[in-house]
């Protein structure tokens, strides 16, 4: 019998467990659900907040929504016939995740208020000791990190910001207690988050100054409410929803032809985006400021019907000069223009390439993961395993993000892959698997050869897809179906199989 198939009677005080999962966003919950569905109950999930939901719990800014259709931005095994719109809002997605946690009995495995700080691998027992702030430590056979990379706000150090006497906050830490009605608001950034909240606040504020560094490519958003008959059809004949999901998957995945294979094909998408801009922004001066000069796809492609019209409002100004200085009640640009503001909202995105560097993960021979990734780049095998760190699995790890399709598909592929690895441990009667460095290097070379041709690298822009050295450690350079195929089986020759020298000793430490 699989050693991980112990029943979950004692999970409430189980500090010696089969698997520790970190995070309860789509990744962490997806892993937990897959374990449950496979009859594996011996796991603990660490969550630093007080509820499940990850980014969809944390991002509460007005207008927050997903720009991937909900039929596809959801688990294949937990389709929701009741999505209210084609593109659900953040609250509805969060409710969906909470519903999944309840449906599959995940909450009883979650330690809320437990912030993962690092993990240490014991080469005698081949087990991990996982450290937290708030919940002590746990020992586990395997660790699955579903921590994501879009959660540490990136806040620019603007000269003079310490003198500013108004309120300032980041889009992911929205201050709902700060009423924006009638205020003089500055928004910095015009990325995926800003283009969603700018239209929502533009009507309420007294004045809105939007500071844009680089114009995004924006396509029309073909959003609408789902009709009653559609929802009924999905409920009565679930196959119809599945069919739409598959069709949408294929349409989205075809876009990899432009993103990853031949960026010249991005013209097929940039033409309707240019038409959208022309149609929504008749003022040639404003339109010129909003016209991107890089190839579409180099930065995330956005969808919106109300961002451009919001910028054309009489109380809204788009500023493209760099910010030179912040004063007590104003922002001054490099051109010398002073804009009076009492609130600054940062729509400036997240720390991505260094998002995992605060974690202290020590593998075989005392190897420090952060140190290795910092000095040699975040190298992995399939974005999931890392040589020298046995039984440590990443979900949405390096080079498995997407700009053209739903990341939930990647997460599902990865959680299935983890299950296959765990099954291989049991089948081969070993305790750990460690990917061989030769296999990892081969994978690294392969994807970076592909990335060199991708739009993110040749599109003529600078984006958070690239690390400070200009290396793309973020996106998967191909079709999603290729990744599904690659992860469909575990090539055990690529792994070293390890057997513990010392048997498992149950840990009994308190919180």
Name the site residues for ligand NAP (rule: CB under 6 A). 65-68, 150, 156, 171, 188-194, 211, 213-214, 299-300, 347-350, 464
Q: At its nearest, how many Å lie between ligand NAP and the CB of residue 174?
A: 12
Query: What CA–CA distance (Å, rounded) separates 8 from 41?
Result: 5
Q: At its nearest, how many Å lie between ligand NAP and the CB of residue 368?
A: 28
Whichever of 233 and 332 has its CB closer to ligand NAP, that residue is: 332
Q: At its nearest, how many Å lie between ligand NAP and the CB of residue 56?
A: 10
Nearest C-alpha neighbor of 407 from the set 397, 419, 416: 397
Whichever of 56 and 443 has its CB closer to ligand NAP, that residue is: 56
What is the chain's alpha carbon radius of gyration, rounded to the nearest angstrom?
24
Q: At its nearest, how many Å lie between ligand NAP and the CB of residue 263?
A: 18
Whichever of 70 and 280 has its CB closer to ligand NAP, that residue is: 70
Q: At its nearest, how many Å lie between ligand NAP and the CB of residue 218?
A: 12
Q: At its nearest, how many Å lie between ligand NAP and the CB of residue 452?
A: 22
Three-class SS of 218-278: EECCCCCECCHHHHHHHHHCHHHHHHHHHHHHHHHHHCHHHHHHCHHHHHHHHHHHHHHHH
Whichever of 191 and 397 has its CB closer to ligand NAP, that residue is: 191
How big is the chain, counted in residues? 511
Whichever of 66 and 281 has its CB closer to ligand NAP, that residue is: 66
Whichever of 192 and 201 has its CB closer to ligand NAP, that residue is: 192
- How buried is residue 81: exposed, middle or buried, by Cβ count under 10 Å (0-12/13-18/19+)? middle
Whichever of 159 and 238 has its CB closer to ligand NAP, that residue is: 159
Whichever of 323 and 421 has its CB closer to ligand NAP, that residue is: 323
Nearest C-alpha neighbor of 206 from the set 228, 226, 182, 176: 182
Decide: 144 and 22 in contact? Cβ < 8 Å.
yes
Q: At its nearest, how many Å lie between ligand NAP and the CB of residue 157?
A: 8
Q: At its nearest, how many Å lie between ligand NAP and the CB of residue 215?
A: 8
- The three-point CA angle 501-503-509 to 5° equals 125
Q: At its nearest, how many Å lie between ligand NAP and the CB of residue 213?
A: 3
Contacts of 446 (CB under 8 A, 6+ apart): none
Query: What CA–CA distance (Å, rounded) separates 302 from 504?
Result: 50
Query: What CA–CA distance (Å, rounded) separates 141 from 127?
Result: 5
Closest residue to ligand NAP, based on beta-carbon distance: 191
Query: What CA–CA distance (Å, rounded) separates 145 from 501?
Result: 26
Whichever of 224 and 489 has its CB closer to ligand NAP, that residue is: 224
Question: Which residues are bridge partners to 128 per DSSP?
Answer: 121, 140
Whichever of 248 and 300 has its CB closer to ligand NAP, that residue is: 300
Three-class SS of 328-391: CCEEEECCCCEEECCEEEECCCECCCCCCCCCEEECHHHCEHHHHHHHHCCCCECCCECCCCCC
How many CA atoms, within 13 angstroms, populate the side-chain half-sphere of residue 276? 23
Nearest C-alpha neighbor of 393 from the set 38, 41, 148, 145: 145
Q: At its nearest, how many Å lie between ligand NAP and the CB of residue 334?
A: 12
């Amino acid at each position: 019998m699989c050693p991980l198939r112990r029943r979950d009677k004692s999970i409430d005080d189980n500090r010696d467990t089969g698997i520790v999962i970190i995070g309860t966003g789509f990744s962490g919950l997806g892993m937990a659900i897959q374990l449950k569905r496979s009859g594996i109950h011996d796991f603990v999930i660490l969550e630093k907040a007080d509820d499940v939901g990850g980014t969809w719990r944390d991002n509460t800014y007005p207008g927050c929504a997903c720009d991937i259709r909900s039929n596809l931005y959801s688990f294949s095994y937990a389709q929701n016939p009741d999505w209210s719109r084609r593109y659900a809002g953040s609250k509805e997605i969060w409710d969906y995740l909470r519903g999944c946690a309840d449906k599959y009995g995940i909450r009883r495995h979650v330690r809320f208020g437990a912030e993962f700080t690092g993990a240490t691998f014991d080469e005698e027992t081949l087990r991990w000791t996982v450290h937290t702030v708030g919940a002590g430590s746990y020992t586990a056979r395997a660790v699955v990190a579903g921590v994501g990379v879009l959660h540490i706000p990136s806040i620019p150090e603007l000269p003079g910001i310490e003198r500013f006497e108004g309120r300032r906050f980041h889009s992911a830490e929205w201050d709902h207690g700060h009423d924006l009605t009638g205020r003089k608001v500055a928004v910095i950034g015009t990325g995926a988050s800003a283009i969603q909240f700018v239209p929502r606040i533009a009507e309420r504020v007294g004045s809105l100054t939007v500071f844009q560094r680089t114009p995004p490519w924006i396509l029309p958003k073909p959003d609408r409410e789902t009709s009653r008959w559609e929802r009924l059809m999905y409920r009565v004949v679930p196959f119809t929803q599945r069919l739409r999901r598959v069709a949408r998957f294929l349409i989205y995945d075809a876009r990899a032809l432009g993103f990853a294979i031949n960026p010249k094909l991005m013209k097929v998408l940039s033409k309707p985006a240019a038409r959208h801009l022309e149609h929504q922004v008749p003022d040639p001066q404003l339109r010129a400021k909003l016209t991107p000069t890089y190839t579409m796809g180099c930065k995330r492609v956005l969808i919106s019907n109300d961002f451009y019209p919001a910028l054309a409002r009489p109380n809204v100004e788009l500023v493209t000069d760099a910010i030179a200085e912040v004063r007590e009640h104003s922002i001054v640009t490099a051109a010398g223009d002073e804009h009076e503001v009492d609130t600054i909202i940062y729509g400036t995105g997240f720390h991505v390439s260094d998002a995992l560097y605060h974690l202290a993960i020590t593998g075989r021979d005392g190897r420090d993961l952060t140190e290795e990734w910092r000095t040699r780049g975040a190298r992995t095998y399939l974005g999931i395993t890392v040589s020298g760190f046995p039984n440590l699995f990443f979900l949405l790890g390096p080079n498995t993000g997407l700009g053209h399709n739903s990341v939930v598909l990647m997460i599902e592929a990865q959680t299935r892959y983890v299950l296959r690895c765990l099954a291989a441990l049991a089948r081969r009667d070993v305790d750990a698997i460690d990917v061989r460095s030769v296999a990892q290097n081969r994978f690294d070379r392969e994807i970076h050869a592909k990335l060199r041709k991708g739009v993110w690298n040749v599109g003529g822009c600078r984006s958070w897809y690239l690390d400070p050295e200009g290396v793309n450690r973020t996106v998967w350079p191909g079709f999603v179906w290729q990744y599904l195929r690659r992860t469909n089986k575990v090539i055990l020759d690529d792994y070293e199989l390890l057997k513990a020298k010392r048997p498992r000793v149950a840990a009994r430490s308190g919180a």
